[in-house]
Amino acid sequence: MAMYMDYRSSADADGTICAEDVISAEGSKLLSKGTVLNQYYIYRLLKFNIKKIWVLKEINKGYDNSEKAAEDILNSATSIIESILKGGGVPDEFKDMLFNIMYYSDPDNFASIVSYVNQIVGNDSYTYDHSLSVAWLSVKIGSLYGFEKERLKDLMQVGLLHDIGKSCVPSNVLNKPDKLSLYEYELVKRHPLLGYHALKPIVSDEIAEAVLYHHEKLNGTGYPFGITEEKIPIFAQIICVADVFEALVAKRPYKSKISPFAALKILRNMALANEVSYKIYDIFETNIMNSYIGTPHPDMPDNIVIGYDREKIEPIYLMDVNSSEEVHQH
Ligand SMILES: [Fe+2]
């Protein structure tokens, strides 16, 4: 089974088989598909600053059936979600997990989906990291929304693949620190359509359409079509909330990251303007705020969060930081 692996931190990289050709940033082939890794090849990859490659690897034996895989999405989510909320993305040790789950979610199309994800990684690692985070956040929102496990696995696929069309957009445009030209912006705006056409032959209509509509806004100000309200499928509405939030809290070459609370305030304004679903925003916000209860103040480890102010979207600490007076609980 093809897996994306950091060969540098894997003790058993020696003897592993490359699943794809490994190409340098300059375009020359470093290793061919089927090559058995040895210390010489590993040295060569390091020299070209290639940190991860696709290898043939056993699927995690812990996932012996689809039900177990779906269960794992929910059970493993807490620490992963916490890292994403802080702008740290999916921790490295969990990055392969979705592929294991996806294998049981859609075994017939697994190889095609992996090769599409491979294209994202090859073009732009930020988009790949973003897609992993959006997949986890979307599943979290979907579970709060009340979806069954089977639908959560589909939603996970949408999260992972929603920006697949960006692999057709040059990475220097995607990560341009300056304002995009009109032409460049039009190019970026084509990615939902490109992704839809790439995926339509291999995934369900529901998954493909969620990819197509993930930048549409309820009030009709989105793209590519400017459709409104009920015409936008629920999967696309969930992905949109996860997408906006993750893009705000994560650091990118063209912007610094902001706090989850500041990101929630922006999201609330978007919900009030009927750009994103208020219902989805609401369950997401409540859950995020709850996840902060019991966590220490960043500068005062003895001071913990005991609640939150929904109006201000701010945590309430045991001791009021400004007055240094204790907040009494009854
Ligand atoms: Fe997108």
Q: Measured in angstroms, how far is the CA atom of residue 163 from the centroid of ligand 1? A: 5
- The residue written with tokens 């340098």 in the block is 24
Extract the runs of DSSP E, i.e. beta strands, from 74-217: none
Q: Measured in angstroms, how far is the CA atom of residue 194 from the centroid of ligand 1? A: 11
Q: Measured in angstroms, how far is the CA atom of residue 165 from the centroid of ligand 1? A: 8
Q: What is the pLDDT of residues 33-51, one digit of tens each?
A: 777 787 778 878 888 888 8
Q: What is the pLDDT of residues 130-144, one digit of tens each?
A: 999 999 999 999 999
Q: What is the pLDDT of residue 328?
A: 53
Q: Is the pLDDT of residue 64 over 60?
A: no
Domains, the chain: 1-58 (3.90.105.10), 64-291 (1.10.3210.10)
Tell me what the mean pLDDT of segment 45-63 comes to. 70
Q: Determine what percent of the chain is predicted with pLDDT higher than 70.
A: 89
Tell me what the mean pLDDT of segment 295-302 comes to. 84
Q: What is the pLDDT of residues 218-259, one digit of tens each?
A: 999 999 999 999 899 999 999 999 999 999 998 877 778 888
Which pTM does this prediction carry?
0.77
Q: What is the pLDDT of residue 282?
A: 95
Q: Measured in angstroms, how far is the CA atom of residue 192 from the centroid of ligand 1? A: 6
Tell me what the mean pLDDT of segment 269-280 comes to. 97
Q: Measured in angstroms, how far is the CA atom of residue 209 from the centroid of ligand 1? A: 13
Q: Measured in angstroms, how far is the CA atom of residue 162 from the centroid of ligand 1? A: 6
- CB-proximal residues (5 Å) to ion ligand 1: 163
Q: What is the pLDDT of residue 62?
A: 46
Between CA 230 and CA 23 the distance in angstroms is: 44
Between CA 188 and CA 198 the distance in angstroms is: 16
Asked whether 145 and 238 are in contact (CB, 8 A), the reply is yes
Distinct helix (H) and strand (E) counts, the chain: 14, 7
Q: What angle do CA 135, 203, 237 make, to 5 degrees?
A: 45
| Cα pseudo-dihedral 247, 253, 257, 262, rounded to 10 | -60
